């Protein structure tokens, strides 16, 4: 989808990460929230069919006309909370680093996922009869609505890494990857992130970053009846604040 379509669908979005470090060990946490609404006309139809009188074929013909549509509205919410212990190898990451300096962080912890889908389906069918009927004219209007909600909260083991390479005093390239799930909480249970980009120093304490990010979830319950699948990818812009 293009950016305009995404912005029209979005009803909420938030993403942040924070980390503290003492020596080479540390703790990090992340929170990502996404909610959006989609509305779609699934089907529409029009038909007009004659009704024949087999006993009295000379009587005027009658006709049944039908026009209808099915519309669905889906609200989706997805929230992830990551908490992990981390260990750093190499240089301490700062907005300004010596060219060629490398910082590597490996981490392990847990990921909590809360996901919900709420679908409302409205069905409308207008039926009219034309011609001479025993009841003169018969009109029938049928309206029906249906709804279905799926909600699940589950926890995944999480492992990952991120590395930073100083291209110059102010410029850095970074790569971050993580994976969670590994099929422990369902018939299928896996999530993962890959992000690569560049960061530029704003003074001695801040950076701006531009990256490409991919995130995906594949989940199905042990019974195989209920499942959830989501993929998101695109350009991300960020702000980093680092301090001693």
pLDDT tens-digit readout, 77-95: 999 999 999 999 999 999 9
- Report the pLDDT value the prediction gives residue 134, as an integer from 0 to 100: 45
Residue 211, sorted as left (phi over 0), alpha (psi -120 to 50) or beta, turns out to be beta
- Report the pLDDT value the prediction gives residue 162, as an integer from 0 to 100: 96
Using CA atoms, how far apart are residues 164 and 28, in angstroms rounded to an integer? 16
Q: What is the mean pLDDT of the chain?
A: 86
Sign of the alpha-carbon torsion through 44, 50, 51, 54: negative
Percent pLDDT > 90 in the chain is 52
Residue 100, sorted as left (phi over 0), alpha (psi -120 to 50) or beta, turns out to be left
- Report the pLDDT value the prediction gives residue 41, as an integer from 0 to 100: 80
pLDDT bin (cut points 50, 70, 90) of residue 61 is low
Q: What is the pTM of this model?
A: 0.77
pLDDT digits (tens, 9 = 90+) for 207-244: 999 999 999 999 988 877 778 888 989 899 999 998 88
Three-class secondary structure assignment of 171-187: EEEEEEEEEECCCCCCC
Residue bearing the bigger pLDDT, 131 or 157: 157
Report the relative pairing of strands 102-130 and 10-22 from DSSP bridges: unpaired
**Residue 170, SS3?**
coil
227 contacts 219 by C-beta, under 8 angstroms:
yes
CA 164 from centre of chain: 28
């Amino acid at each position: 989808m293009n950016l305009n379509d995404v912005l029209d669908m979005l009803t909420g979005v938030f993403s942040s990460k924070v980390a503290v470090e003492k020596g080479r060990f540390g703790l990090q946490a992340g929170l990502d929230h996404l909610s959006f609404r989609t509305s779609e006309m699934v089907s529409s139809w029009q038909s007009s069919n004659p009704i024949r009188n087999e006993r009295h074929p000379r009587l005027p013909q009658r006709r049944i006309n039908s026009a209808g549509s099915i519309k669905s509205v889906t609200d989706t919410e997805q929230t992830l909370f990551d908490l992990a212990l981390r260990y750093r190898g190499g240089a301490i990451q700062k907005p300004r680093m010596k060219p060629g300096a490398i910082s590597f962080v490996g981490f392990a912890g847990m990921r909590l996922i809360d996901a919900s889908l709420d679908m409302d389906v409205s069905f409308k069918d207008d039926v009219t009869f034309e011609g001479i009927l025993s009841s003169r004219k018969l009109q029938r209007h049928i309206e029906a609505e249906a709804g279905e909600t799926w909600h699940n909260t589950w926890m995944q083991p999480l492992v990952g890494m991120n590395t930073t390479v100083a291209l110059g005093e102010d410029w850095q390239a970074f790569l971050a990857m993580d994976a969670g799930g590994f099929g422990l909480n369902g018939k299928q249970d896996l999530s993962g992130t890959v992000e690569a980009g560049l960061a530029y120093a704003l003074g001695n304490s801040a950076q701006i970053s531009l990256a490409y990010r991919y995130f995906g979830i594949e989940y199905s319950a042990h019974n195989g009846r209920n499942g959830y699948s989501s993929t998101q990818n695109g350009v991300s812009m960020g702000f980093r604040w680092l301090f001693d």
